Amino acid sequence: MSAEISNLIQESLSSVIVLILVLFALILVFQGVKVVPQSRVYVVERFGKYTKTLSAGLNFIVPFLDRVAHRVSVLERQLPEFEISVITRDNVEVRLEATVFYRVLDAASSVYRINNIDQAIYTAATSIVRSAAGKLELDELQSSRESMNAEIAKNLQQAAEVWGIEITRTEITDVIIDEQTKDAQRQQLNAERQRRAAIAKAEGDKRSVELAADAMLYEAQKDAEATRVQADAKAYAVKVAAEADAEQTRLVAKAIAENGQAAVDFEIMKRQVEALGWVASADNSKTIIVPTDIAGAVGSLQVLAETLAASRRGN
């Protein structure tokens, strides 16, 4: 009997030992194997001192010596929108609504160098936004949000690097202006519109005057061209007439040289007959009295012509 009891006790102890070993193995596995989600990283400490950072996936640590002290999200985060009172370069007080987007790059720095990341980023962003807005006038502040956002993000990134933070972007979501400033802006806008209208009208009048002057200049140029063409035509007519007179004179001189006094008498009588014809063709001529010597000249003209022709045939 005692032997059976002793065997039972030994078997029970063996079972307990095996169970304890199994439990210990499970505890070792649970303590030493860490599965990290994709959106997080784990910060591991050994005896209270930072050891390493576990990235996403399956990781191993030393059981009982190492422990996961911090589970840090690496997803992009957004600060709640905050309102900042700023004074622009032209001494106008406005309120800006802004927000900041960031994510953790170095989990160890984010947990060991700063206690409250959101509050630290908010404080730095407030100072940087005030400084950036103070460099701009109100109109520039409203129209240059993109460049202002880039400047704020750049300066804030320099301040947040020590915390292991990446500033992904900053946004000025709204510019809040009081009613007095809005009224002043409306008046300024109306004055600017009137100024632009006056400039446009002046430019239109100037263009109209320029077009009228161009038209007058074009007309003067065409008149000058027409005058030059007429002058050229008259000069050409004078030249032709002169050449004809010169040819006629040359022929008369040649006839005189060849026929002597008969040719001279013929030319004189011809001119007398032509003058008589001009007088007879005048509108105010009713009755023409022809002198005897003129009538005789008409009769002798044919005789002289026949004589000259005969002399030419003889030659």
For the stretch 57-69, what's the b/e string if a residue is b when 16 or more beta carbons lie within 10 angstroms of its beta carbon?
A: eebebeeeebbeb
194-250 pLDDT, tens per residue?
888 888 888 888 888 888 888 888 888 888 888 888 888 888 888 888 787 777 777
Which residue do the tokens 């022809």 mark? 290
Residue 105 burial by CB count (10 A; 0-12/13-18/19+): exposed, middle or buried? middle
How far from the centroid of its chain's Cα atoms is residue 62's Cα? 65
117-158 pLDDT, tens per residue?
999 999 999 999 888 888 888 878 877 888 888 888 999 999
pLDDT beyond 90 at 255: no
Amino acid at 261: Q
Compute CA distances 124 → 86, 151, 187, 271, whole Å.
15, 13, 37, 120
Main-chain phi, psi angles of 147, to 5 degrees: -65, -35
More confident residue, 90 or 266: 90
pLDDT beyond 90 at 176: no
Residue 138 burial by CB count (10 A; 0-12/13-18/19+): exposed, middle or buried? buried
Compute CA distances 298 → 241, 259, 305, whole Å.
27, 20, 11
CA distance 290 to 301: 16
Give the pLDDT confidence score for residue 307 in this predicted structure.
54
Give the pLDDT confidence score for residue 200 in this predicted structure.
87
